[in-house]
Structure 1
Amino acid sequence: MDIDVVTARVLLPLALPGAYDYAVLDDLDVRPGDFVRVPLGPREVTGVVWDPLPDGVEAKPVDPKKLKAIVSRFDAPPMPDVLRKFVDWVAAYTLSPPGAVLRLAMRVPQALEPAPTITGYRLSGAEPLRATPQRQRVLEMLRETGPQLARPAREIAEMAGVGTSVVSGLVKAGALDVVEMPGERAFIEPDGDLEGPQLSDAQSLAAHDLGAHVGNGFSATLLDGVTGAGKTEVYFEAVATALRQGKQVLVMLPEIALTPQLLKRFETRFGAPPAPWHSDLNQKERRRIWRGVAEGRARVIVGARSALFLPYADLGLIVVDEEHESAFKQEEGVIYNARDMAVARASLGDIPIVLASATPSLETVVNVQRGRYQRLVLPERHGAAELPDVTAIDLRADAPERGRWLSQSLVTAIVDTLEAGNQAMLFLNRRGYAPLTLCRTCGHRFECPNCDAWLVEHRFRKELQCHHCGTRAPTPYKCPECQSENSLAACGPGVERIAEEAAERFPDARLSVLSSDHLHGPAATQEAVGQITRQEVDLIVGTQVVAKGHNFPNLTLVGVVDADLGLTGGDLRAAERTYQLLHQVSGRAGRGEKPGRVILQTYMPHHKVMQALVAGDRDQFLQQEAREREDAGMPPYGRLVSLILSAPELPQATEVARYLARAVPAAEGVRVLGPAPAPIALLRGRHRVRFLIKTTRDFQVQKYVRAWLAQVKLPNAVRLAVDVDPQSFL
């Protein structure tokens, strides 16, 4: 006799190949999107009821007697249909297990439980029999500030200037009612009807165009404006349109260091702060925001790439600020580019997306040329500000003194700037004091024991650190190899070494060092930026933390200590990234009424990057870069997929790589390079071997890789990382 069992597919946030079938008991009503508890082996886990298999796809038959039943359903908003589709899409594109992608959307399990409540009090309408002066103050305060508004006892006491015992007395006297109220802060509603700042004609046209897309289906628009052109104020107008339509908005930033400044600008524009979403939030705040997003109470989210996987109740607009930034690429776990996934999310949700940048990526520029994206241009800085004058100093002709890193021309420019009462910035995109420490006596170099990398000296902390795996060790007093004392030499400059030289050369200048080693979290960044804005700092020494997003009105000089850094190393995007970074940091100069100046120290003044920066000809650089990529069949004119095998022992990784190499499927339009040692062959104690798949643009590379990998079973000790459209080649 057949057993008629109602089943449901449940996807678990684990690296499993797909959803599992579970029985649904008669007393439980579940639908796709519901969060449920299910048994998995000896434990219970939380998962999501997933959609039925598409027509024509048959599941592997399971004996109904062997099916385990769903234990319970959470009283929480179900995961929206579009988010479930997005999870499946990301999994298919990145060749990741769907459960691993689901985990990105389920990082706040506490949010599935009912919201905590606290006890509050409000006026009952009755007068106490004994009205003391203190009681009278409480009653008058509540009448003036909202008689039906419930507040905790401590808040009432503080507002009235009395003790909590007075509040308790009023409750006993019947003058205050006891009510249960939400235990979390409410979200303040941003006002889309508030009038923004006066826009220029070009800004107004762009803002009108962006606003017209909101509520009218999917579109992708590149907002291409020079640094200081007011791109934020322009896309704020699209945000205002979405708010007026009752929609939610996501604004994505590449780094949390940029969050405080945007939060403040948003609050000024819309009368309420948006909800931030980044790794520095505590669990209580993450729970509040996740639930607020799911219930539609959090209207605007400003966040890092993980904000893309929040369960928006009614998302109406996505903005990707600084869309060119490599920080949007997640390099571990599920490997994805949040900018590209944001475009996919907008398409699945049938909503507009805005990609904003002064230095758009070549991929985005080509999508504009192919007609996939619209382009709006802001060619001039807002107001009286003008773009800075950029010059290159040939270090072969104007070399710094021995043991120093600033040329005389740059030193003179800083002196002139400081004497004029303006601020200057020295930029070097290298953390720490020195990238290499060696022994003068025996030549010993300090290497990371877990990675193919040098240990970077951090003199302020008196330690050596690996910037790949985080290994740290105290800086020794003598060489561990030959035991020589006072023989250790720092080779090359880091930002701390530049700060040391700057402090020596400009002793009267108030100096501030800005790098991720000195700024721990958004609050620290906000304070440092505030000091610069208030002109409490004369000379800034910083890494890429200061290169983008910040507005320092009194900063008139930017000196790039090593403009060539980043142009080598075999990265196909090396020139593009260097141009973007130097253009962005150059854009910090002259954003106020005073003209700005940028000095690039370089050994390659004739390199196409330096020539483009000095000439201010970005488009010419992009055209040249595009020709070179197209001739080589490289992205965005071709496709790449990186496969990296890693194992604790090199023979393990090498053996599996040989098996994979023998199983490479033959196909037209594809070329498999490798296996070969990865550029960083040892990382975090694991030996790494890489394949690189190069195909034509229209080749179905995911299908090809999936069929290839299905032929080889990996040993437990060997891991495989698949990176579709790699950004990093280390």
Structure 2
Amino acid sequence: MGTTPTRQKMPTVEVIPFVPLSSGSRRFAYTYRVPAKESVAPGTLVRIPFGKRTVSGIVFREATQRIPPWKLKTIASVTSSVPLFTPAELAMLQHLAELSLESFPLLVQSAARVRSVGQADDISENLKQKARRRASRIDVRWKPLTDLLPSALHGQLLLLIPETSVAHATIELLEKKKLPWAFFAQTLPVRERRALLQRLRTGESLVIVATHPGIFLPLPALSRIIVVEAALPAHRQWDLHPRYDARIGALLRGKAQGVPVTFQSTLPSLDLASLSPPEPNDILRPGSVRVLPRMSTDPLFSPVFLSAIRDTIERGGHVFIFHNIVGTERAFVCGTCGALLTCPECGGILERVRSQLHCRQCKAARGPLLRFCPRCNSPHLSPRRIGTSAIVDMLRHIVPGVSVAQADRDTLPRLRAGTLSARAPAPHSILVGTERAFAALGEYDLFDCIIVLDADRFLESLSFDAAERAMITITRLAHRRRADAPLLLATTHPHQTLFRALETDLRIWMEEELADRRTLQYPPEAVLIRLERTASSAGQARTLAKKLLQRLAASAPDVRTGFRVIERPRPRAEILLRGPRAALSDALRFIPTGWNTDPFVPVSLLASSLP
């Protein structure tokens, strides 16, 4: 009589499926049975049955819960012969998802896309052990990148750049230093990405210039991470999913591999200043910006501006006129004296709304339309779009015969890199542009005169970091000047702390702004989440905001809330959530679909809390 063979118990693992999960669900891994004669480790890429379809996923860990065998499904196939991630890297990705308040499966899927192209199977064991366990050092350097690059390269150096437009200047700098380099971005062709990943996995000594996904690259011989121009908001990827901050990823990557992390910046940042305050001349030399007071009824081009433009052109120099409006603003301009119709209370520009004049800044109605200019009594008062296109037309009348170029979101797609360069064979004497102009300019393209026509535009935004963004933009403009070239800035509020600090000491503004944020509990003193949702009308936006606030008050009492309704250009509701990070993470589970979330997680808070 034969004996019944004993059925061998098959191991079970938890797999993270690459599928969109509901925002309120905290479950991100599902238990599966490992096929016979197969062995999988955490980080292995597999195909699993999920509902009525088969999807890809990553093995997270061994199963921690006992599930009846008849309820388990079996892994369909094993895609990668070696794991894409180590357990430590998976823990880093999970930590990054928690800090970024983002879905863990989405973040793992994004990281897997970086590593799964052209995966090598011959990773030597001695190379895997190169990552030494040591304490990660975090420092802030208020110096140019060229001062931080080593003369000789030992291991792999990761340079995280905020956007691809910075890559060209960074690579030029590396070639001058005679350092071997490689560039990585998600837009690279598959063949180039495959070749680059194979080089990185062998531990070749390289300087890797990469955008946000560079924190997911396999770098076994990583020796240092430098976040280039860490003050720029472009390091925060919130317009696409998954949303994360590359600076936070650099902190966690440095902690996981025990390598130093350096935040390099020549621009002001309150977040970085909380870690290491800059010296007086590190960012902006006192007195390098000239603030010009003006009345709200003054013309856009004051006599000082016109004199500076003509003098610079006569000397054969180049002028950059900064105006961060493309042409979506309809204002009334006098054709005789050039004055703008402005609000008598706040100085904002008056726009036409039906048959009334409304202030763009304070949203108040200021009476019916006028037939005559209040300054010169001229009847030539007409509505115009005061954007870069209108300014180019004005300059062609003010300085006829001079080459004028325009650089904004409408013209840059038609311009190639270098066409705006002052070193080009046929240079433009005057460049009128918005912040998009920085992408079309080379690293060494400098101007003999820079003019900011309306600095009040910087402070019209209701965002809590409007002043900081303004200071970053003004500092970027200051770096585009030649030695001792003027930077002229016109404002109707010259006594604002921001403008006073430009002429004296930047640290005055930093100290006052940090004190205000500490009182109001705004970043970098706390974590903040901004929720936004568009609606068909202002009334509907207000109703949606109040319903959500009532729900949050009942489910997340530790979270402080506030909201506002913005009527133009499109009605939308905006809600701010402040509080401990754990409470904010719980509050996100109660937010219904349709609301866009934008978290602000300060790097300084994490750097002080990480062991």
TM-score bucket (shorter structure): 0.7 to 0.9
User: 1:489–1:356: structure 2 CA closer, same or farther, 3 Å change rule?
Assistant: farther
**Cα separation, 2, equivalents of 1:510 and 1:85:** 56
Give the AA of the match of 1:330.
Q
**Which residue is 1:44 aligned to?**
54
Give the AA of the match of 2:140.
L
Give the AA of the match of 1:343.
L
User: 1:295–1:528: structure 2 CA closer, same or farther, 3 Å change rule?
Assistant: farther
User: 1:655–1:6: structure 2 CA closer, same or farther, 3 Å change rule?
Assistant: farther
Kindly state the Cα deviation for residue 216 of structure 1 after the two structures are TM-superposed: 6.6
Q: SS at 1:79's partner residue? A: coil
CA offsets per residue over residues 96-138 of structure 1, 9 Å max, x none?
22101112213358715789xxxxxxxxxxxxxxxxxxxxxxx
Which residue of 20, 24, 43 maps to 2:30?
20
**Cα separation, 1, equivalents of 2:252 and 2:184:** 22
Kindly state the Cα deviation for residue 330 of structure 1 after the two structures are TM-superposed: 1.9
Give the AA of the match of 1:496.
S
Kindly state the Cα deviation for residue 559 of structure 1 after the two structures are TM-superposed: 0.7
**Which residue is 2:329 aligned to?**
435
Please state if 1:587 is matched with 2:479. yes
**Larger Cα-atom Rg:** 1
| Aligned residues of 2:16 and 2:28 also touching (Cα < 8 A) | yes
**Which residue is 2:125 aligned to?**
none
Structure 1 segment 43-82 matched on structure 2, within 5 A = 43-52=53-62, 58-59=64-65, 61-63=67-69, 66-75=72-81, 78-82=84-88
Aligned residue-pair number: 538
**Which residue is 1:692 aligned to?**
576
Structure 1 segment 45-444 matched on structure 2, within 5 A = 45-52=55-62, 58-59=64-65, 61-63=67-69, 66-75=72-81, 78-107=84-113, 111-112=117-118, 217-225=135-143, 231-237=144-150, 240=151, 243-244=153-154, 246=155, 248-270=156-178, 272-277=180-185, 279=187, 281-290=188-197, 292-297=199-204, 299-332=206-239, 333-368=241-276, 379=282, 389-396=288-295, 399-400=298-299, 405-430=300-325, 432-436=326-330, 443=355
CA offsets per residue over residues 641-676 of structure 1, 9 Å max, x none?
33456789959946862662352343xxx44224x4
CA offsets per residue over residues 458-498 of structure 1, 9 Å max, x none?
xxxxxxxxxxxxxxxxxxxxxxxxxxxxxx97645222322
Please state if 1:661 is matched with 2:549. no
**Cα separation, 1, equivalents of 2:395 and 2:473:** 22
Kindly state the Cα deviation for residue 305 of structure 1 after the two structures are TM-superposed: 2.1
Kindly state the Cα deviation for residue 597 of structure 1 after the two structures are TM-superposed: 0.9
Give the AA of the match of 2:162.
P
**Cα separation, 1, equivalents of 2:522 and 2:283:** 32
TM-score, with structure 2 as normaliser: 0.77
| Aligned residues of 1:437 and 1:490 also touching (Cα < 8 A) | yes
CA offsets per residue over residues 578-606 of structure 1, 9 Å max, x none?
12211221221125xxx211100211122
**Cα separation, 2, equivalents of 1:216 and 1:234:** 25
Structure 1 segment 488-637 matched on structure 2, within 5 A = 491-520=384-413, 526-528=417-419, 530=421, 532=423, 536-547=427-438, 550-552=442-444, 555-591=447-483, 595-615=484-504, 617-637=505-525
Provide the alpha-carbon RMSD of the alignment.
Answer: 3.9
| Aligned residues of 2:97 and 2:244 also touching (Cα < 8 A) | no
Structure 1: give runs of 5+ residues left out of the alignment: 116-213, 226-230, 370-374, 446-452, 454-487
User: 1:648–1:500: structure 2 CA closer, same or farther, 3 Å change rule?
Assistant: closer
**Cα separation, 2, equivalents of 1:679 and 1:112:** 48
Fraction of identical pairs, as percent: 20
**Cα separation, 2, equivalents of 1:437 and 1:406:** 15
TM-score, with structure 1 as normaliser: 0.65
| Aligned residues of 1:387 and 1:590 also touching (Cα < 8 A) | no
Q: SS at 2:289's partner residue? A: strand
